[in-house]
Amino acid sequence: MSWQHLFVYSIGFLAQIFFSGRILYQWIVSEKAKKVMAPPFFWLLSIIGSYLLFIYGLLRDDFSIILGQIVSYYIYLWNLNIHGIWSKLHKILKFILIATPVIACILMLNNLPEYISNFFKNENIPIWLVVFGSIGQLIFALRFVYQWVYSSKKQESLLPDGFWVISLLGSFIIIIYAIIRKDPVLILGQAFGFVAYSRNIIIGHNHKTNEVTKQE
């Protein structure tokens, strides 16, 4: 493996460390509270991991990864704002966080034919696999759209049951995609998350059951 490939994989693994860290932290907090929690630190780790994975996707010429990050990236920022963290960040950092994906998308649009060739006509990645992986990433990213809509109605940052169900479905597709592509970064990240998503569903169910029992 060349140093270029090692550098790219290092960014990907670092992104997955942040993503796995957010799930582990959220899981521990939820276990202690005996109900599903959405702590501020979860969203802080999310935006760092998303930023890194966005770069990893660009370096890997992986359309499905980029698509997934574009959809969820700004929802992470919205949740940071709900928790009051966004207002505490320096203006320069705010600008960098907001502008980076926009600039990257503009660069992609300016060189669209080349990106189409790289993403959809890559000899190493058949079109059906790109579509399959993109579906998984889209479902995985839409969980945050669902979380955003749900939280907006409640006027607070929450992780509802539907979020974890969608997470399981998207994760399952991405794991299959990653196995076919032999992508250790995606396999490692999704395998750990799959267990945590299942556990959060159980925690949420147990909490609701206990609440109903108390009311009776």
* pLDDT more than 70, % of the chain: 87
Does residue 116 carry a pLDDT above 80? no
Q: To 10 degrees, the CA torsion angle through 110, 113, 119, 121?
A: -170
Domain parsing of the chain, residue ranges: 3-215
**Whole-angstrom distance between the N-terminal and C-terminal Cα of the chain?**
62
pLDDT in tens, 177-206: 888 888 887 787 788 788 899 999 999 989
pLDDT in tens, 129-167: 878 887 887 888 889 999 999 999 999 999 999 999 999
pLDDT in tens, 122-137: 666 777 887 888 788 7
